[in-house]
Amino acid sequence: MKVLFLVQAEQRAILDRLYEGVADACESCDVRWLTSAEQDDLKRYFHEHVDISRYDRVLFFLRFKKEIKQWRFIRTLPNLVILEHDAYQNYISCKYTGKFTAHYRRMPWVRVISSGAQVAQNLRAEGFDACFVSKGYDQTLLSYLQRERDIELAFVGSTKSSAYSGRKALLDELASVENLLVTKTRSGLEYCETLNRIRFFVSADVGMGEYMIKNFEAMACGCVLLAYDQGDLENDALGFRDMHNLVLYRTVPELREKLAVLRQDPELVERIAKAGRQTAEERYGFDRIGRQIAEAMRPALRQHENRTSWLAWIGL
């Protein structure tokens, strides 16, 4: 399988190992980092730089806000697969509510690889060719360092986006009754070292319907993950078991009840941390996730419809 893999040159997360994982699982994989300007004019980029006949699959991992403005061109591309880590926004209250559905309806033959099991199921129910491959973590940057854990309870990351409003509200509520550290770090070594100092990492992916990348990163670094419960479908798909390899909660009072149990049982804390770390290491390194993405591309795609009527022009 020969793949053209288009990714964002300006990306906050460090995803190089994920791209390598995909490339290593393909016969050949031409990974190209597109600048913001190149993503703004995909038609021009393809005209000047791409011989589409060379590839069995074209894999997009680009900014959705730029994709949706160029659907008339994108729908002309054969063998297109879209890797999407933000499609959960289709089903929450934000500026992209319903926008993913509308976009994919204009090209229903495209395969969508979603990082949420529930999101993939929802898209399939809407008639799309959708499958699930979870998020993961960079196994070369993040690992268990066997350091002293001198920060008991913390969250590391952003709370500013409107999509994170539920996260911020929960963390604020928890901080009002617990000694919670909310902080940010630089990616890479500083982030890894900070995670290795945290005993209980509070993940607050409220209202998102899937687990964000920080869950896997915290588990890999040996934190006990306190994760907002995304439901049985998601947990079963990921192998998440409450009080075995993570701690699930739905409310701050429930989180505090479980935290009280953990504070009284250091051996239980160590067992959960170890089981969570093993789950992350065995299943969610970017090398493994990359292979899963490549495998998800292999099955035959739906027949491409090259509609040229006025209905196609308006996206029907």
Residue 309: per-residue pLDDT: 45
- Looking at the structure, tell me whether residues 129 and 251 fall in a common domain: no
Residue 315: per-residue pLDDT: 52
Residue-number span of the structural domain to which 39 is assigned: 2-136+289-313
Cα(303)–Cα(280) distance, integer angstroms: 37
Instruction: For the full predicted model, state whether its pTM sits above 0.95.
Output: no
Residue 13: per-residue pLDDT: 78
- Looking at the structure, tell me whether residues 8 and 123 fall in a common domain: yes
Q: Produce one character per residue of 113-131: b if its CB has 16 or more CB atoms within 10 Å, e if not.
A: bbbbbbbbbbbeeeebbbb
Cα(208)–Cα(56) distance, integer angstroms: 33
Residue 243: per-residue pLDDT: 98
Q: Is 308 exposed, middle or buried (0-12, 13-18, 19+ CB in 10 A)?
A: exposed
- Looking at the structure, tell me whether residues 49 and 23 fall in a common domain: yes
* Total domains in the fold of the chain: 2
> pLDDT 10s per residue in the chain (316 long)?
999 999 999 876 789 999 999 999 999 999 999 999 999 999 999 999 999 999 999 999 999 999 999 999 999 999 999 999 999 999 998 899 999 999 999 999 999 999 999 999 999 999 999 999 999 999 999 999 999 999 999 999 988 776 678 899 999 999 999 999 999 999 899 999 999 999 999 999 998 899 999 999 999 999 999 999 999 999 999 999 999 999 999 999 999 999 999 999 999 999 999 999 999 999 999 999 999 999 999 999 999 886 554 444 455 4
User: Domain of 113: which CATH number?
Assistant: 3.40.50
Residue 247: phi, psi to the nearest 5?
A: -125, 120
For 68-89, the DSSP string reads GGGHHHHTT-TTEEEEES-GGG
Residue 146 lies in a domain: no
